[in-house]
Structure 1
């Protein structure tokens, strides 16, 4: 569907990818907080994919191989949604200076779905706020021909992590960061959507 078809001001389709699959994870609360801000931003059509609900096996087929029935079923619920997206926001914790294995797994199962699209990040963790996970993800998405936006959102525990009310303790700073990241994501999302409609991206 071209930018001309959907209209220059058509909502930007944004997949919010929730990367943690741990029981009792903070990720759903962080995602709820962020999507609340994104909904107030306007002009966005949000689609949340929680990897804790995606039964995607780790084993990928080799060249020319076929996915297992289990993988095919899982991908049927994920791949079309990634393909339809104009942009992505990844919500991730930091595990051992990196990001969760489940997140890398779903990234690696796809390729064309990421290409020539922008990616923003919402991270959380201890003193680093998940920033080291984000820096590694930037390298991964660069290899997949995606464009990561410069600014990200990071919630640093305990200073700006979520309180018992589900809001960041330093709400002004966190919300400002989210709005800044969304502004960049929308700019890149619309620009790249127009470019892909005018000329197919060449790998």
Structure 2
């Protein structure tokens, strides 16, 4: 069993991507993992002014400290990202940028979505480089859900062709993340990270 965080970043009133985040939390939990949803809107960090590491020990805001502790304790991450004008969701990027070293030496997987048919592919591509730069190994298997409102209902249950495609793709997505999580856990047991 691994400790996994599913990170989601939309601040919009009528959020469709939360359906995908909830689907992934349920799916990973069903595979035996300890999974927690980290909703950037609920965490409510301000626009980045000071990174967690820039606060003296014990002086970071409570929400930031709590999230730092969860990130450090996690074995892997899933970033659920919508595509905004061919780019990243600002809420998720802001949350992510508050931390750096806390992300190191763990794998990350990317699940993207959009209202259009491309499923957030351009956002997923942008996230791949960003997460790598932040010290994570990014899995090659991604999920992209197009026309999100028709692929998952309000209870995060798959519907229509898009939902069926998601159900077909999820096992490989999860297995890829699990392989990297297990590899990273074994390596950390064998040898401490170099920095």
TM-score calculated relative to the size of structure 2: 0.87
* Cα RMSD (Å): 2.3
Aligned to 1:185: 177
Aligned to 1:129: 119
Q: Are 1:141 and 2:128 an aligned pair?
A: no
1:47 Cα deviation after fit? 1.1
Q: Could you list the runs of 5+ residues in structure 1 that have no partner in the other structure?
A: 1-10
After TM superposition, the structure 1 = structure 2 runs for residues 18-167 of structure 1, keeping only pairs within 5 Å, are 18-40=8-30, 42-61=31-50, 65-66=54-55, 72-125=61-114, 126-157=116-147, 161-163=151-153, 166-167=157-158
Say whether the 8 Å CA contact 2:19–2:154 is kept in structure 1.
Answer: no
How many corresponding residue pairs?
Answer: 190
Structure 2 unmatched ranges of 5 or more: none
| Larger proportion of helix | 2
Greater shift after overlay, 90-99 or 181-190? 90-99
Q: Contact 1:38–1:44 (CA<8 Å) still a contact in 2? A: yes
| Residue deviations 1:85-137 (CA, integer Å, cap 9, x gap) | 00001111100111111211121111122111111122110121011111100
> CA, structure 1 residues 163+183, in 2 after alignment: closer, same or farther (shift >3 Å)?
same
- Scaled by the length of structure 1, what TM-score is found? 0.84
Specify whether residues 65 and 192 from structure 1 end up closer, same or farther in structure 2 by C-alpha distance, changes over 3 A only: closer
Deviation string, structure 1 residues 16-74 (Cα, Å, up to 9, x no partner): 1112121111122222222222222x231101111110121113238x8538x996122
8 Å CA contact 2:158, 2:164 repeated in 1: no
